[in-house]
Amino acid sequence: MKNQEILEQLVCGDTKALARCITIVENEISGFEDILSSLQIKNIPTIGFTGPPGAGKSTLINSLLSHLTKKNKKIGVIAIDPTSPFNFGSLLGDRLRMSEHFNDKNIFIRSLATRGSLGGLSAKTIEVTDVMKAFNFDYIFIETVGVGQTEVEVAGLADTTVLVLAPGFGDEIQTLKSGIMEIGDIFVINKSDNPGADSFATTIQNMAESRMTAEWIPPVLKIIATQDLGIEELVNKIKEHTSSTRNDKKISLLTEKAYKLIQNHRMKDLDRKKLEQGIIEESKKNNFNLYHFIKKLS
């Protein structure tokens, strides 16, 4: 099937065409650039979910999906999975928490491997998100790998960033403050039935207030995702934030996306295996200097 036909079927709401387009773009199969340049990208709210491992991001998204599909909403989910730096294998275990939605016609779930990318996002996430924005979704969710403060890249892609935390992370507050605490538009205290939830929420509230603007005060929501408690309030806050997003932030998001795409394009010719082989050969020399080696390549 020609790429133009696939694009036409994508616009008509064919999920098989959507899956095929994503595969072509993700793996850079012949014609992928034509697909990207021909996309009719819609203004679909893109929500990023980030936070430390164990905070319950997948469980929270699962609860949100159940809530929204009852209202006949269509959601595309991009789940970013960690990749081994040695064999580039993706660990997709967390997706099992969303297994009840795999056959739901209103939900499309796609896992992407980070392929060594830092920041919690796959290098292909931007392009795959734009493919999804050409489909007839009401929301697009992006769940990052949960690697801590390096996940700030999600803020450069999502209209709204939901930072998911849980009681028990109190010792990490200072680390969070210098990293992912600064990107949250909405703060979720998940597992809020656990001991210490109230005091933890108060601490986060005090930190969140330092990020308030005239247009938006980041809310701190106490949620129990496993019991669907607080989900309605979260949906309302997401709607409120996406509708209040200023044009200057949208330009900032587009600039960040453009920067990342240009960066990826310029790195395409750098082959990791060839780089490793070059280092093996050069490191045998007595006067080997890594910085001199890198300078020769740039």
Spatial strand order in the sheet of 186-189: 107-113, 75-81, 139-143, 46-50, 160-165, 186-189, 220-222
> pLDDT truncated to tens, each residue of the chain (298 aa)?
688 899 999 989 999 999 999 999 988 899 898 999 999 889 899 999 988 778 888 899 999 999 999 999 999 999 886 654 444 444 444 455 566 676 788 999 998 876 555 444 556 888 899 999 999 999 999 988 665 444 556 666 788 999 999 887 555 555 555 556 677 889 999 999 998 899 888 888 888 777 677 678 889 999 999 999 999 999 999 999 988 866 666 777 778 778 878 877 777 778 888 889 989 998 998 888 888 888 888 6
pLDDT at residue 53 in the model: 77
| Predicted pLDDT of residue 23 | 93
Q: Where are the domains of the chain?
A: 1-39, 41-266, 272-298
Q: Which CATH number fits domain 41-266: 3.30.420.40, 3.40.190.80, 3.40.630.10, 3.40.50.300?
A: 3.40.50.300
What is residue 58's predicted lDDT score, i.e. its pLDDT? 87
Tokens of 209: 């207030």
List CB contacts of 88: < 8 A, sequence separation 6 or more: 113, 115, 116
Query: Residue 113: what pLDDT?
Result: 73
pLDDT value at residue 295: 84
The predicted structure's pLDDT at residue 90: 42
Amino acid 228: pLDDT: 93
Residue 79: the pLDDT is: 86
pLDDT at 121: 59
pLDDT given at position 49: 92
What DSSP line would sit under the chain, residue for residue?
--HHHHHHHHHTT-HHHHHHHHHHHHTT-TTHHHHHHH-------EEEEE-STTS-HHHHHHHHHHHHHTTT--EEEEEEE-B-TTT--B--GGGGGGGGGTT-TTEEEEEEE-TT-STTS-TTHHHHHHHHTTS--SEEEEE----SGGGGGGGGT-SEEEEEE-TT-GGGHHHHHTTGGGT-SEEEE-STTSTTHHHHHHHHHHHHGGG--SS----EEE-BGGGTBTHHHHHHHHHHHHHH--HHHHHHHHHHHHHHHHHHHHTTT--HHHHHHHHHHHTTSTT--HHHHHHHH-
pTM summary value: 0.83
Q: For the packed helices 247-266 and 125-132, what is the interaxial angle rounded to 10 degrees?
A: 130
